[in-house]
Homo-oligomer: A and B are copies of this chain.
Amino acid sequence: MAEIRQGKLICIALDAMGGDHGPSVTVPAAIHILSRHRDLKIILVGDHETLLQEVHNAGGKENESLQIHHASQVVTMDELPSQALRGKKDSSMRVAINLVKEGVADACVSAGNTGALMATARFVLKTLTGIDRPAICTMLPSINGHTHVLDLGANIDSSAEHLFEFAVMGSVLASAVDNNPNPTVGLLNIGEEEIKGNERVKEAARILAGSDLNYIGFVEGDGVYLNPPNVVVCDGFIGNVMLKASEGVAKLFAHFLKAEFKRNILTKLVALITMPVLKAFRKRIDPRAYNGASLLGLQGIVVKSHGSADQYAFGKAILEARKEVLEDVPNMIRKQLESHLTTKEAS
């Protein structure tokens, strides 16, 4: 897709005030990414003075590829989506999304309040025709590589049709970012047998089996991390619990491992010797490398960074947005949906 852009810079609007750390992370991350990717232009959205200061602090300067766009408000991390939508019309988040709507930017990246981001993006950009519910999709590591999992909390009580929409969107995303023409798709369930699960999952399985997606059947919770299909589809309540429980297990392990290495002078010595191995291990499971969840199903590209992202992690979210622009993901989803609707009408 890159060639049809004909040298035009990919423009990304950053909600530079969002996240736990705000501009102290977003601005240096932007400057670092720009130094590595000459096809990018970044618009930092937020308080002009603050951002200018951060740009200087990070050794950058305003130019064609790094611009500041003033916004007077900030959506806080615990604000209700409805409040953000009504009361914060000049927030850095809202203005960054507006820039996508107006065609000034190709994508928006934010580490801010997830609920407010989804509500605002949905309100401003609107959903694609045929998409009832946008979804949040992220990559998770697995023994055989990685998998794209959605929905992770944008929706609760998803119907079978919604799960099918998620499957279409996840399939397009996996196809685009992994350069995989026919990604496999599985449905998260409590057993691999056909008789297991609730009615919505069983009905979604029937719809998927009759579609032209590469549907391979049910996946159990452990399968997500062991040998998953390219895309795993689930209701947002379940996806959210699964993702957070996984984070919890990771933290529990890290806590106990640290405790054992700190037990006495001998184990502390062993820790020193083991450090390079542990570092290599940590790199393989580093959640920062997977930062950047996609809000799919919108008429525009919006990527959500983890609120606590550091500079490296936030940079990954910017690169995720860049990839989705290059691959024209929303348009691909639209086309895929149209082809499904046509097949349905023809049959």
Are A253's CB and B253's CB within 8 A? yes
Q: How far is the CA of A281 from the CA of B253 in the complex (A)?
A: 8
Q: How far is the CA of A316 from the CA of B222 in the complex (A)?
A: 23
Are A242's CB and B256's CB within 8 A? no
Inside 8 A of A244's CB, which chain B residues have their CB?
Answer: 190, 220-223
Which of the residues B153, B251, B256, B285 comes within 8 Å of A284, measured between beta carbons?
B256
Are B251's CB and A225's CB within 8 A? yes
Are A222's CB and B237's CB within 8 A? no
Q: How far is the CA of A104 from the CA of B82 in the complex (A)?
A: 61
A247 in the interface (beta carbon within 8 A):
yes
Q: How far is the CA of A54 from the CA of B153 in the complex (A)?
A: 51
A257 in the interface (beta carbon within 8 A):
yes
Inside 8 A of A259's CB, which chain B residues have their CB?
Answer: 284
- Chain A contact residues, majority secondary structure: helix
Q: How far is the CA of A280 from the CA of B271 in the complex (A)?
A: 14
Are A261's CB and B277's CB within 8 A? yes
A260 in the interface (beta carbon within 8 A):
yes
Inside 8 A of A273's CB, which chain B residues have their CB?
Answer: 270, 273-274
Interface residues of A in 217-268 (CB under 8 A from B): 220-226, 234, 236-238, 240-253, 255-257, 259-261, 263, 267
**Closest B residue to A258 using CB positions:** B281
What band does the interface of chain A fall in when counting residues whose beta carbon is under 8 Å from B?
Answer: 35 or more
Q: How far is the CA of A249 from the CA of B285 in the complex (A)?
A: 10
Inside 8 A of A80's CB, which chain B residues have their CB?
Answer: 195
A197 in the interface (beta carbon within 8 A):
yes
**Closest B residue to A236 using CB positions:** B190
Q: How far is the CA of A141 from the CA of B240 in the complex (A)?
A: 20
Are A257's CB and B238's CB within 8 A? no
Are B225's CB and A248's CB within 8 A? yes
Inside 8 A of A143's CB, which chain B residues have their CB?
Answer: 251-252, 255
A188 in the interface (beta carbon within 8 A):
yes
Can you list 22 A-B pairs with a CB-CB distance of less than 8 A? A142-B252, A143-B251, A156-B190, A156-B197, A156-B198, A190-B236, A190-B237, A197-B237, A220-B241, A221-B244, A222-B244, A222-B251, A224-B245, A225-B252, A226-B252, A237-B238, A241-B241, A245-B245, A250-B253, A257-B281, A270-B277, A271-B277
**Which A residues are closer than 8 A to B by beta carbons?**
78, 80, 141-143, 153, 156-157, 188, 190, 193, 195, 197-199, 220-226, 234, 236-238, 240-253, 255-257, 259-261, 263, 267, 270-271, 273-274, 276-278, 280-281, 284-285
